[in-house]
Amino acid sequence: MSGGGCSIVWFRRDLRVEDNPALAAGVRAGAVVAVYIWAPEEEGHYYPGRVSRWWLKQSLAYLDSSLRSLGTCLITKRSTDSVSSLLEVVKSTGATQLFFNHLYDPLSLVRDHRAKQVLTAHGVAVRSFNADLLYEPWDVNDAEGRPFTTFAAFWERCLSMPYDPEAPLLPPKRIISGDVSRCPSDTLIFEDESEKGSNALLARAWSPGWSNADRALTTFINGPLIEYSKNRRKADSATTSFLSPHLHFGEVSVRKVFHLVRIKQVLWANEGNKAGEESVNLFLKSIGLREYSRYLSFNHPYSHEKPLLGHLKFFPWVVNEGYFKAWRQGRTGYPLVDAGMRELWATGWLHDRIRVVVSSFFVKVLQLPWRWGMKYFWDTLLDADLESDALGWQYISGTLPDGREFDRIDNPQFEGYKFDPDGEYVRRWLPELARLPTEWIHHPWDAPESVLQAAGIELGSNYPLPTVGINAAKARLEQALSEMWQLEAASRAAIENGTEEGLGDSTESAPIAFPQDIHMEENPEPVRNNPPNTTRRYEDQMVPSMTSSLLRVEEEETSSDLRNLAEDSRAEVPRNVNINQEPRQDTLNQGIVHTVRTNNTLPQFNVAMVVGNAEDSTAESSSSSRRERDGGVVPVWSPPSSSYSEQFIGEENGIGASSSYLQRHPQSHQIMNWRRLSQTG
DNA sequence: ATTCTCTTTTG
DNA sequence: AAAAGAGAA
């Protein structure tokens, strides 16, 4: 086919052979070298947690064997710098092209852009594709062409785009292997000795790998999907799709999920199956939230460390590592929260509802800094995903325009009876409460002494009393808010007087650091799903360490480099390049629709486009390639041009904030509420 | 029809 | 927590 050397297909979080545009492009172009580069130091703080690494290991092995059955193998490289490793692979294989699929987290955006620059400079043709989303972030804009800032509007737009998401690609029938005789694989180490025991148990519950993902998808769509809406509020039932870890690593493509679900949707709509339709809409909405997390991360690349709305800048967070520890250990004294936290630690999994419960408790009752909680989720979740993690915690913390109101405190006792009405979930994960009657199971502190005695519970020793009472939390929240207002007023006055510039900024832009030396007792035997009659005392509950033991010192440099880079640059400011589009000829089924879109002006916001290697593009378009529109485009960051805070937070005083995010949401509910509150308080 | 109450939803 | 919706009186 295309002359010259082979192409590298760079796998990242697209560990599948089906509907993988980068792989398809490589196969079309001739011989393929499939590469995975393990460079966790590049992730800085966000070195993947134990269970996430376990999954990755399995998934890579699976991908390797799939590739082998197709005629090639997966080359694995251990690296501290992905781009240099790519160059080495280029040198040792004589590759002339590089294909990969887009990622949207801030680190990847920077790294992938560099990869493109460096390899292009070395004469390698680089092309990248959309494999992770229904629509590229820069394709979804409001009527004025600006990115959406609320989920509902975003998702509505996605569902009414003038062209459908791409139909999934079939897996290649066979792959011609490039010459890898001079490109040996490194052995990748994903777990240390202390982790092996715990990891062994994960395999009982989960099967990573793309065809397992496929099976999970089919099972879900043909089974629980129709009941999704009815069952979604049960903390405990196995009615979710369980697709999130598969989706995180790209073992199954969202586009495939979307298409299969849509088929059901049409079917049920025809049958007039109301419940089915509602279920589909709800499930698609959760897919939409995943899309939105990428969208947000792309448009606001600091959303994993900075609040999108800056109005909490002066909030006096409770920096109390004791609270943090109690939360992690599942010893807050609120049964639903504790059950959730123990399930999380034991299994790496939590139902979405319970994620909301425990994180809301964290932010509103304990009033701990949300990034701690976010980091802990990152460290412990099997489906840990930076973009979703950030979206979730920002939503809970009320720093999104459409997030939860900040002064809303959810009461875990009431939520307990809502999501776990019979207390079964609590009994499973808190064996010490197993004998408590349902009447008291979600608020043992109210139970009569005789009841507690009969259940073998001694509050304060057996099971803790509430760490913070709900009423105390409410009081403290009010007080903290008025404190915040005072601080803000002071800061505003200072700025108006011109005496002070960066007071506020320094507060918020030096975010409260992660606790450094929280090393907990690591228990070699992981806590399993304890049968209710086991009498395990809470002291036995093990807790993971916050800082990964695998982090090395040299990494500090890497990560701080990256952080500096991140701090100085900001996303966007498009210099829009019109992209080379001839109307696509879709070999499958959507050719006509696409002409519409190609005539539309291309995105002018948020992303600078780089036209792909010209020679390559033409070669592609002359063949009947279906994904050529993605092929030439790599999202690119423009060089640093202004400080972060102007762009993303916007100074509340309005100075020079014409384009500020906050100003686009002047009616932000939080602020209204606080004004009211501070007058009374 | 109108108000009141209970339920559901809220990213 | 608050608002919107559904259903009852």
Helix axes A335-347, A412-419, angle to 10 degrees: 70
Strand C at less than 7 A from CB of A405: yes
Per-residue confidence (pLDDT) for residue A557, from 0 to 100: 26
Strand B at less than 7 A from CB of A283: no
Strand C at less than 7 A from CB of A408: yes
Protein CA at A273 to nucleotide C1' at B5, angstroms: 30
Q: What mean pLDDT do residues A624-645 have?
A: 32
Per-residue confidence (pLDDT) for residue A663, from 0 to 100: 54
Percentage of chain A modeled with pLDDT above 90: 60
CB < 7 Å to strand C — which of 571-630 in chain A? none
**A512 confidence band (pLDDT: 50, 70, 90):** confident
Question: Who wins on pLDDT, A190 or A235?
Answer: A190
Task: Give the pTM.
Answer: 0.80
Question: Who wins on pLDDT, A671 or A351?
Answer: A351
Binding site members of A: 228, 240-244, 283, 383-385
Per-residue confidence (pLDDT) for residue A501, from 0 to 100: 52
**A174 confidence band (pLDDT: 50, 70, 90):** very high
Nearest nt (C1') to A411 (CA)? C1
pLDDT at A605 over 70: no
List C-alpha distances in Å: A120 to A35, A116, A167, A301, A587: 18, 6, 30, 25, 29
Please name every residue paired with A77 in a beta bridge, in sequence order, or none if there are none: A37
φ/ψ (deg, to 5) at A323: -60, -45
Rounded to whole angstroms, the Cα distance separating A280 from A121 reads 47
Binding site members of A for FAD: 228, 240-244, 283, 383-385
Per-residue confidence (pLDDT) for residue A665, from 0 to 100: 55
CB atoms within 10 A of CB A272: 8
pLDDT at A660 over 90: no
Protein CA at A258 to nucleotide C1' at C9, angstroms: 45
pLDDT at A25 over 60: yes
**A496 confidence band (pLDDT: 50, 70, 90):** confident
pLDDT at A13 over 80: yes
A75: helix, coil or strand? strand
Protein CA at A512 to nucleotide C1' at B10, angstroms: 29
Strand C at less than 7 A from CB of A410: yes
Note the strand C nucleotides within 7 A of protein beta carbons. 1-2
Nearest nt (C1') to A286 (CA)? B11
Angle CA(A299)–CA(A302)–CA(A308) in degrees, nearest 5?
75
Strand B at less than 7 A from CB of A356: yes
Q: To which residue do tokens 């696509």 refer?
A: A584
Average pLDDT, chain A: 77
pLDDT at A486 over 80: yes
Please state which of the ranges A85-89, A233-237, A384-388, A452-456 shows the lowest mean pLDDT.
Answer: A233-237
Please state which of the ranges A160-164, A225-229, A501-505 shows the lowest mean pLDDT.
Answer: A501-505
Closest CA to A507 of A366, A649, A395, A407: A649
For residue range A27-81, list pLDDT tens digits in order: 999 999 999 999 999 998 899 999 999 999 999 999 999 999 999 999 999 999 9
Protein CA at A290 to nucleotide C1' at C8, angstroms: 40
Protein CA at A579 to nucleotide C1' at C7, angstroms: 56
Question: Which pair of tokens denotes residue A97?
Answer: 């092209």
For residue range A288-298, list pLDDT tens digits in order: 999 999 999 99
Strand B at less than 7 A from CB of A289: yes
Question: Who wins on pLDDT, A200 or A9?
Answer: A9
Nearest nt (C1') to A391 (CA)? B11
- At a CB cut-off of 8 Å and minimum separation 6, what does A490 contact? none
Q: What mean pLDDT do residues A507-511 have?
A: 51
Strand B at less than 7 A from CB of A151: yes
Protein CA at A319 to nucleotide C1' at C3, angstroms: 34
Per-residue confidence (pLDDT) for residue A121, from 0 to 100: 97
For residue range A94-104, list pLDDT tens digits in order: 999 999 999 99
Q: What mean pLDDT do residues A211-218 have?
A: 95
pLDDT at A193 over 70: yes
Q: What mean pLDDT do residues A8-34 have?
A: 98
φ/ψ (deg, to 5) at A469: -70, 150
Per-residue confidence (pLDDT) for residue A611, from 0 to 100: 28
DSSP collapsed to 3 states, A493-545: HHHHCCCCCCHHHHHHHCCCCCCCCCCCCCCCCCCCCCCCCCCCCHHHCCCCC
Protein CA at A274 to nucleotide C1' at C7, angstroms: 19
**A447 confidence band (pLDDT: 50, 70, 90):** very high
**A498 confidence band (pLDDT: 50, 70, 90):** confident
Alpha-carbon torsion (A233, A235, A240, A244), positive or negative: positive
Strand B at less than 7 A from CB of A395: yes
Nearest nt (C1') to A293 (CA)? B11
Question: Who wins on pLDDT, A470 or A537?
Answer: A470
HSE-up of residue A86 (Cα within 13 Å, Cβ side): 29
Protein CA at A417 to nucleotide C1' at B7, angstroms: 15
Question: Who wins on pLDDT, A8 or A496?
Answer: A8
Per-residue confidence (pLDDT) for residue A237, from 0 to 100: 67
pLDDT at A373 over 90: yes
Rounded to whole angstroms, the Cα distance separating A455 from A478 reads 37
Strand B at less than 7 A from CB of A392: yes
Per-residue confidence (pLDDT) for residue A5, from 0 to 100: 87
Angle CA(A344)–CA(A544)–CA(A563) in degrees, nearest 5?
100
pLDDT at A195 over 70: yes
Strands A74-78 and A32-38: parallel
Question: Who wins on pLDDT, A581 or A467?
Answer: A467
Closest CA to A8 of A16, A19, A20, A30: A30
Nearest nt (C1') to A474 (CA)? C1
Strand C at less than 7 A from CB of A500: no
Q: What mean pLDDT do residues A385-414 have?
A: 93
Nearest nt (C1') to A669 (CA)? C2
Nearest nt (C1') to A410 (CA)? C1
Please state which of the ranges A9-18, A49-58, A344-353, A548-557 shows the lowest mean pLDDT.
Answer: A548-557
**A152 confidence band (pLDDT: 50, 70, 90):** very high
pLDDT at A429 over 50: yes
Choose the most confident range, by mean pLDDT, from A445-454, A475-484, A604-613. A445-454
For residue range A454-470, list pLDDT tens digits in order: 999 999 999 999 999 99
Nearest nt (C1') to A292 (CA)? B11
Nearest nt (C1') to A392 (CA)? B11
Q: CA-based diameter of chain A, in Å? A: 83
pLDDT at A558 over 60: no
Rounded to whole angstroms, the Cα distance separating A296 from A8 reads 30
Strand B at less than 7 A from CB of A403: yes
Report which residue is nearest nucleotide B10 when distances run from CA to C1'. Answer: A404
Q: What mean pLDDT do residues A505-519 have?
A: 57
Strand C at less than 7 A from CB of A274: no
